[in-house]
């Protein structure tokens, strides 16, 4: 049989966890709203274009080695786009040798 004392402490603990969960939901909601607002800022797109982004959908070469798939150059620079999908991390790079863009595919260790 559960004593009334331990039942009270379980109730208090459950209530505390519930309040913590509600706080986390609120924080997550606020963060989502903030990110959504930032995405709609007009200068954000300009910043992406300045970094080498483009409106055109293009097919970029993919490689699992961090070297240029076109010329083999090992000196490459990240252009700021990192996307995780299908158990892979897709990191956009630009070759310092031939200036072409490509995607470096990495398998995350934790997946």
Residues that bind Zn ion (CB under 5 A): 68, 70-71, 73, 95, 97-98
Residue whose CB is less far from Zn ion, 68 or 92: 68
Residue 71 CB, nearest approach to Zn ion (Å): 3
Residue whose CB is less far from Zn ion, 9 or 77: 77
- Sign, CA dihedral 65-68-74-76, equals negative
What is the chain's alpha carbon radius of gyration, rounded to the nearest angstrom?
A: 23
Residue whose CB is less far from Zn ion, 26 or 65: 65
Residue 88 CB, nearest approach to Zn ion (Å): 22
Place of tokens 């009334």: 4
């Amino acid at each position: 049989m559960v004593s009334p004392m331990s039942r009270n402490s379980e109730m208090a603990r459950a209530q505390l966890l519930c309040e913590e969960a509600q706080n986390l939901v609120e924080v997550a909601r606020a963060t989502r709203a903030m990110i959504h607002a930032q995405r709609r800022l007009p200068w954000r797109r300009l910043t992406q274009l300045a970094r080498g982004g483009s409106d055109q959908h293009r097919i970029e070469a993919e490689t699992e080695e961090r070297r240029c798939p076109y010329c083999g150059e090992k000196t490459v620079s990240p252009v700021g786009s990192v996307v995780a999908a299908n158990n892979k991390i897709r990191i956009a790079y630009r070759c310092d040798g031939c200036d072409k863009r490509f995607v470096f595919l990495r398998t995350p260790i934790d997946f």
